[in-house]
Amino acid sequence: METIKNIFEKYAFGVCQYIGDKLGISAGTIRTHFIYISFITMGSPLIIYMFVAFWINIKKYIRRNSILWE
């Protein structure tokens, strides 16, 4: 079961893990709350999730390229 979790976290966007690391909260707790909120609001947090995933990837890209230019 841990290998499935590791594979999913490696290839997924990692938004919940990123938020959990920044706030000091378990990523599993954030995922659970995200799922509950998504059901209650009929999926509208997915837009926020995709925006944050985009932002994290852009931030990684900028950092990677700034290191290459130095």
Return the pLDDT at 69. 61
pTM over 0.75: no
9 versus 55: the higher-pLDDT residue is 55
Return the pLDDT at 58. 81
| pLDDT tens for each residue of 19-68 | 888 889 888 888 888 888 888 888 778 788 788 888 887 877 777 777 65
Return the pLDDT at 2. 66
User: HEC states along 1-68?
Assistant: CHHHHHHHHHHCCCHHHHHHHHHCCCHHHHHHHHHHHHHHCCCCHHHHHHHHHHHHHHHHHHHHHHHH
